[in-house]
Amino acid sequence: MTRFSKILLVLVLFASIAFMGFAAVSSVGGPNWPKEADAMTGYLFEYQPGEKPMWSVKTRRTGEQISTSPVLAKVIVAAQKNKIQQQNEKIDLVTKSIPPLQQAIKSWKKINQVDREAMDFRAVVLKEKIAALDTEITQLANEGIKTSQQTLEVNQQASERRADVFRLQDQIDEIRNEEYLAQEQQKTLLDYIARIEGKVQRLQRQKESLEKAVQGAGNNNVEKTSQK
């Protein structure tokens, strides 16, 4: 046997041992396909027994047929590929929507920046107005206090004036009473004066009568004397 034949024999021996090890590992430590099928909850795996047993897989939501094969591993791999394809389609859809969203975000950032500046300016203006209103409210409160004090003073003065009015009214009533009494007294005095004047007139008439009588008596005496 030549040296090359010996080397070839050794290589074949090692290859056979390696193949046997690969087969043993595959049979013992390979994927648990039924468990993999149960883990894919979005798919429905069905087994059809018979002369030619067949595995099929379809989606649970739409019932779309994905794949059929006598080997369970093939239909599981087909389902995994379908799931990966759906995920890739979703990723593509989301990826395509990212640039418009980024552009929209930039636009909204600019708009928000403008709105923020306007809002900050408006906030400053409103703060100034609030400060002015606070000052005005303080002034109005002070004026209100002054007005209240003035109102109290005016009310007090009004009370005093009402008291003066009542007092003056009482005085007026007294004056009216005194005037009435004076008028009555004046009437009495007028009556008394009238009676006195009547007496004076009677006395005056009596005086005149007496004077006439005395004068008449004197004339008679003179005539008698001259006759003698």
Q: Tell me: the pLDDT tens digits for 113-161?
A: 887 888 888 888 888 888 888 888 888 888 888 887 888 887 888 788 8
Q: Write down the residue that tokens 């990826």 correspond to.
A: 95
* Residue 46 burial by Cβ neighbours in a 10 Å radius (0-12, 13-18, 19+): exposed
pTM here is: 0.38
**Using CA atoms, how far apart are residues 128 and 140, in angstroms rounded to an integer?**
18
189: Cα within 13 Å, side-chain hemisphere: 6
Q: Tell me: the pLDDT tens digits for 165-220?
A: 788 788 888 888 877 887 888 788 787 777 888 887 888 888 887 878 777 766 66
| Helices and strands (H and E) in the chain: how many | 3, 3
